Structure formats: structure tokens, C-alpha cells
């Protein structure tokens, strides 16, 4: 089983898109590779090359649907309530149609359309994830979760913390950018969503036809 965490950026900012690939052996995920920048074509090509040999589960940090009429989805409101109780900032959960988010939402929806094309041929699973919430729900120190994007020393601690979550062999360079930390957290959330031996810290089930993917952390 292959697990991929993707920290997606808008379509014109592919330098901030990170893909991290883990391979599952027994009850652990082993780091295999990470790639950045990543265009849509590069993402699809990488995933297809894995899916040709094994099942693939993908955690995507991007909205994969939007609310009819705009504004929050029910899942956004539920997650905002969840992270606020953890001590995180609810404002970090933004509606997919908000001006700051809309291009990311467009890319996320387009990406899943291409992945669905692959899923007619391969075993590919997709879940929308929130990496910050995935960290906040599992780490003991919420201050680290609030400040890791600005603080290299915290990112180094989080890289080591991933080992306690059985995400192994993550290289030290992964702590240099918050995007790579987020991609690892996306893979962790996707693993706990897909593997029956675990369960997500928070889960909002897909609601067809407008919201076709589970959302978890």
C-alpha cells in the first residue's frame, strides 16, 4: 500500500505544491520520496506510476468541493468547531469560494477529476485533509501547531514527532519548509482514514452528489 500526502497550491504557484510518498510495511509508513514543485501533469504522472503496481491512498490539502451558492460547507463549519476546541484558530478554516481560496479549490477539483479517471483502471482512494488540524489533534503542545509555519525549530521537532506516529525515515531537510511538514501530516491523516486499524481524529463523510469525498484530519 502506497500513501501520498499533497500540500496543494494554486495553479500558478506550483513551486509551493509538495507531494510526499510513503510506503506501508506492516504497521508503519516509510518515507520514500518527496517532489516539489509539482504541476498537475507531474502529480498525475507520479500517482499513475504507483497505481500501476499497488493501491494508492491520497490525502489532499485543498478543498475538493464547494457549497452550492458559496460560503462554508457543513464540513467547514464542523471542522472549525473542532479546531477551536483544540485551541487553534477557527479562521484557518476558510470557505472554498473565498477569494484567497478559490483558485486552490479550482485546482483541487480539477485534480480529483483526473484522479477519478485513473480510478476506473487502478485502486486509488482520495480524501480531503486538513494537515494543521491533523497535527493539532495529535500533538501534546498546541503552541507548536500554532507557530510551526513561522518557526524552523518547531518544524524540526515535528519532523521528529512523526516518528512517534510511525512515519519513519523522513529526512531532516523536510523541516525546512512548512509545505513539506503539511504534506507529511496529510499522509498521516489519510493513513488513519483508510486503514481499519486506525480512525481519523475528525471525519466528515462524503455527501453525494455535491461533496463526493470524505474530509478528515
Q: Quick: pLDDT tens for 99-153.
A: 989 999 999 999 999 999 888 899 999 999 999 999 999 999 999 999 999 999 9
Query: What is the tens place of the pLDDT at every residue in 39-77?
Result: 999 999 999 999 999 999 999 999 999 999 999 999 999
Nearest CA-CA partner of 217 in 114, 79, 100, 103: 79
Write the CB contacts of 201 (distance below 8 Å, at least 6 apart in sequence).
Answer: 133, 134, 137, 138, 189, 192, 216, 217
Please give the pLDDT value at position 120: 84
Mean pLDDT over 29-44 rounds to 96
CA gyration radius, the chain: 16
Please give the pLDDT value at position 12: 86
Q: Which three cell numbers stand for residue 130?
A: 486538513
Please give the pLDDT value at position 44: 95
DSSP state of 28: E
Mean pLDDT over 172-200 rounds to 97
Torsion over CA: 127, 128, 130, 133 (sign)? negative
Whole-model pTM?
0.96
CB 173 within 8 A of CB 155: no
Q: Domain count for the chain, please give it.
A: 1
Q: Which three cell numbers stand for residue 29?
A: 509508513
**Range(s) of the domain holding residue 22:** 2-216
Amino acid at each position: 500500500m502506497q500513501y501520498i500526502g499533497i500540500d496543494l497550491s494554486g495553479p500558478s504557484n506550483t513551486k509551493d505544491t509538495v507531494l510526499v510518498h510513503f510506503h506501508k510495511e506492516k504497521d508503519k509508513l516509510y518515507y520514500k520520496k518527496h517532489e516539489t514543485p509539482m504541476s498537475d501533469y507531474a502529480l498525475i504522472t507520479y500517482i499513475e506510476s504507483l497505481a500501476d503496481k499497488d493501491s494508492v491512498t491520497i490525502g489532499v490539502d485543498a478543498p475538493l468541493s464547494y457549497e452550492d451558492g458559496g460560503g462554508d460547507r457543513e464540513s467547514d463549519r464542523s471542522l472549525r468547531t473542532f479546531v477551536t476546541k483544540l485551541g487553534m484558530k477557527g479562521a484557518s478554516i476558510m470557505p472554498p469560494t473565498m477569494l484567497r481560496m478559490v483558485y486552490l479549490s479550482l485546482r483541487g477539483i480539477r485534480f480529483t477529476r483526473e484522479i477519478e479517471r485513473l480510478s476506473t483502471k487502478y485502486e486509488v482512494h482520495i480524501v480531503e485533509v486538513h494537515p494543521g488540524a491533523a497535527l493539532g489533534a495529535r500533538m501534546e503542545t498546541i503552541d507548536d501547531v500554532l507557530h510551526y509555519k513561522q518557526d524552523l525549530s518547531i518544524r524540526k521537532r515535528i519532523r521528529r514527532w512523526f516518528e512517534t506516529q510511525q512515519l519513519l525515515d523522513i529526512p531532516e531537510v523536510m523541516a525546512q519548509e512548512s509545505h513539506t511538514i503539511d504534506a507529511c501530516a496529510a499522509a498521516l491523516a489519510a493513513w488513519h482514514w483508510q486503514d481499519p486499524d486506525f480512525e481519523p481524529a475528525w471525519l466528515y463523510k462524503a455527501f453525494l452528489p455535491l461533496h463526493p469525498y470524505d474530509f478528515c484530519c
